[in-house]
Structure 1
């Protein structure tokens, strides 16, 4: 069996959640499947050593312009050229015209939902707006043409089924994401010191991965942190990743606390292997998103034994179970109250940490890869009978 996997953005330096899912899928398939032939289709970019070829895994770098033209023209042409029996598209969209059996991962359909779409298009960057508009146009046709639609949580499966009228449809299934094994509590003082100095981390801080995507609830998190400082008079900082300073200042102006910038540390881009130490150093990981289809960062933090504050919406309760402090993300005061509770109640915080470690063991990339391999075999068998 020849399997083509779309990994368009795998070689870009700053990878997003969908990119990491595709990367971990391929790496784990390389371990568990040495028989079938795989063709990994990627766009040329600077991080081209992140994935290695093996005897049955070939990396095909495809030029093809912007991602819509790459996806709609270069990708299906290459899949046909290499004789793929199955094409697996991993990033929410796929070619709308291909005669090859197609598996598409829909991580979420937030761009299809009118209420969230208004939020997304209202304050998103031009690139984000274009991407959302493209997906809104393409995805309905992709859903019809795919042999299998896979999503990453039962919450999202239900949303997709409801939106596209696929209740009870065997062409729709859910396969959980995993968490990498290097996400674990870091106790090596030398490693903690190295990472702390590298990113200029303070002694006491909360960690937040928010970005300019409105669903990440950066504004609400900043408001909650501002209120916490006013109530506690503490020296805690909020550590954030690679965030645009101008955009951050706009949000601080909107919440009426420009001075909060003095309590925020922007690390710049953090390589994946340094994240476990940052999780381990932080007092609380804040993940109060408005909407998530799964929530890999939350699971990473839980694997490091860190108290997590997350939302009562979408997939977050499903993934976190009873191992996180749950809040209403539309109420910043609940985030503030959660921070205070975790800091002031030692037994409660320790209980969250213990539950987090146990909960995270339920999710692995190896299990995910095994489920996809079963899917490839099933679809190939179905089409070989036709």
Structure 2
């Protein structure tokens, strides 16, 4: 079987969509090396170079032009004799020739529909048009959670039979045991406290960092935040200065994947009170790292967190604070939840996801 991928995000996105693209191709190549996996893009990058070195993974430079991804990439896949074209980030090419090829698109979330206030009018219109067009063109749609599936049915008016939920996993670094020496070096380099709670993700309003900060106000619990700052950070900064909490919160940016994995493992508690997610990969990363997780009782987050994470109302800073404090003071409760959550998270391991993907492709063919 030949499967062609829109590899723009594979090569040029450092976080969510890029990680999804690289992990998907990596695990398919690892468990099903008899197929050929074709990465279509104008150019490559250092990202994913180890995957590109595999004999069953082929980079094909696409046709040039400002709209080549939309107008030519599909035909380029057909010229390569691909059986399936898979758009990995909610989009499919607009033009195809008559050569038979099955079309698949992964839709991660429709947050721009649920929370329009976070997007400009123009961006909302463009996103909706692209996603709706891709959903209509595709033979099958992959949703990364049951929540996303429900949203696709509701907002894009797609029949349920056209959608299959296939969860995603996380980077292998979170499943590996780093050496004591490396863990210590990360601790020293990042100036981490002896004990701390952790939050990971872009510092934006939807991720709800301010309610974590409000939740730990009046305690001496240190918080480490790993993520890119946006304008929303200024709100956090004002609250910290006003309440003499500046030294209680440590902000980190630009850490490597291996360093991030070590930081997860060093944390006592991972806190992720996002208002809405398509899936919530950081929750999976925490569970693989054997770090107890506090997350929202909304959207897909209970799907990712399982029955032994601790759930909060993301609008309620007192609820967030109370549950952090309870876990902070109860080591035995943290350990109990960690062990059971680690059993649960195995369903997001590479092999079961690769099997689901391959079964999905074979059914389409």
Normalization by structure 2: what TM-score?
0.89
TM-superposed deviation, 1:16: 1.6
CA distance 1:51–1:64, change in 2 (3 Å): farther
Contact 2:295 2:312 in 1 (8 A): yes
Please give the per-residue CA displacement for 1:73-118, whole angstroms capped at 9, x wherever unaligned: 34224223323221101112222333542100001112233xx112
* Residue 248 in structure 1 maps to residue 233 in structure 2: yes
SS where residue 155 of structure 1 aligns? Answer: helix
Q: Distance in 2 between matches of 1:54 and 1:199?
A: 34
2:264 is the counterpart of 1:279: yes
CA distance 1:364–1:70, shift in 2 (3 Å):
farther
| Counterpart position of 2:167 | 176
- Confirm or deny: 8 A CA contact 1:180 1:365 kept in the other structure: no
Give the whole-Å Cα distance in 1 for the aligned partners of 2:362 and 2:311. 39
Corresponding residue for residue 353 of structure 2: 368
Residues 230-274 of structure 1, C-alpha deviations (whole Å, 9 max, x = no match): 1x2x2x332222433865234332687374333222222122122
The 1:184–1:261 alpha-carbon spacing in structure 2 relative to 1, beyond 3 Å, is: same
Asked if 1:323 corresponds to 2:314, the answer is: no
| 8 Å contact kept, 2:142–2:163 | yes
State whether structure 2 residue 8 is matched by structure 1 residue 4. no
- Listed as ranges, the gaps of 5+ residues in structure 2 are none
Matches within 5 A, 1:263-278: 263-278=248-263
How many angstroms apart in 2 are the aligned matches of 1:188 and 1:85? 43
Deviation at 1:11, TM superposition (A): 2.4
- Count of aligned pairs between the two proteins: 361
Q: 2:119 aligns with which of 118, 121, 124?
A: 121
Give the CA deviation at 1:275.
2.2
Q: Which runs of 5+ in 1 are unaligned?
A: 123-128, 381-386
Say if 1:204 and 1:282, in contact at 8 Å, map to a contact too.
yes
Aligned partner of 1:384 in structure 2 is: none
Q: Does the CA contact (< 8 Å) of 2:287 and 2:341 recur in 1?
A: yes
Change (3 A) 1:257 1:307: farther
Matches within 5 A, 1:297-312: 297-312=282-297
Match of 2:56 in 1: 56
Aligned-pair distance for 1:133? 4.3
Partner of 2:102: 101
Q: Does 1:220 align with 2:211?
A: yes
User: What's the Cα RMSD here?
Assistant: 2.6
Contact 1:310/1:327 (CA < 8 Å) preserved in 2? yes
Summarize the Cα distance change of 1:346–1:200 in structure 2 as closer, same or farther, 3 Å threshold: closer
Counterpart for residue 150 of structure 2: 158
